Amino acid sequence: MSTSGSNTGNRPLYIGVSTKMYMGYQASLRWLSEVRSFVDDRPGLAAKDSPVRVFVIPSFPVLEPAGRILAGSPVLLGAQNCAWGDGPLTGEVSPGMLAELGVSLVEIGHAERRRLFAEDDAVVARKVRAAVGHSLTPLLCIGEPDKLDAGAAADFCVGQVLAATEGDSALAARLVLAYEPVWAIGAQEPAPPQHVNAVLTRIRAALGPGCPIIYGGSAGPGLLPQLPAADGLFLGRFAHDAANLARVLDEALLLRQTDAPANSSSSRS
């Protein structure tokens, strides 16, 4: 899963969904089959040089059948978490096993993991290194806990990235960053586009163009064209209706087919 490039129309847009624990086993399989169907109906997603990359992150028990449902599809399979190793870690899932299951990226450092399971920067850093050690792409979640101005929010997020990578720029280049302001997760509306564009522009200025930065936090159809500074969207509950995911995929394809005019006018505020 390449993370090279700069914030231009040449960089792929990443569109992904985490189902968290909102779906049961059979419902998850039905949803994955619907996603597969919608992706198959869009030939532009299947090309090796497709400008849009799709990923799905179902619950752990669904990963094996998900791999079978998505076989031969361009959809990338992700996991919602991983352990920092293997062995005596009862109840955890190792990055090595995830790799065996065909997982290509793993979500690390989500705000819920930090808040509910006390995962601090040190734990996140261990997981990032473990994932990369098994050739998985860490989808590192970053975001300020409270509403801050764009400069302060960006500083907070950059600090999270530096902590997660222990200042290793080569490691940082292996990431996909998911900017999810904690106050926007589960909210009625996403964070204001002006705020998101300003924060992402500042993060990119601080970290360089080494990795994609996507936006998550009550994201849904209609948002992507308003975020010229974003390299895609990390969708939540709105995309649990697969038809809404299809709408976002159409928006992403249209942006790239028209030479991504939104991405050529990134906010510099």
Residues annotated catalytic, as ranges = 110, 180
Residue 149 identity (one-letter amino acid): D
CA dihedral 14, 26, 60, 35 (to 10 degrees): -10
Residue 143 identity (one-letter amino acid): G
What's the CA gap between 53 and 74, in Å, rounded?
A: 8
What's the CA gap between 191 and 187, in Å, rounded?
A: 9
Task: Report the run of H or E that residue 235 belongs to, with start and end.
Answer: strand 232-235
Nearest in space to 203 (alpha carbons), one of 194, 212, 191: 212
Task: Report the run of H or E that residue 137 belongs to, with start and end.
Answer: strand 137-142
Q: Are 120 and 114 in contact (CB under 8 A)?
A: yes
Q: Are 12 and 46 in contact (CB under 8 A)?
A: no
Q: Are 161 and 140 in contact (CB under 8 A)?
A: yes
Q: Are 161 and 207 in contact (CB under 8 A)?
A: yes
Residue whose token pair is 């098994």:
134
What does the block give as tokens for 129? 């290194």
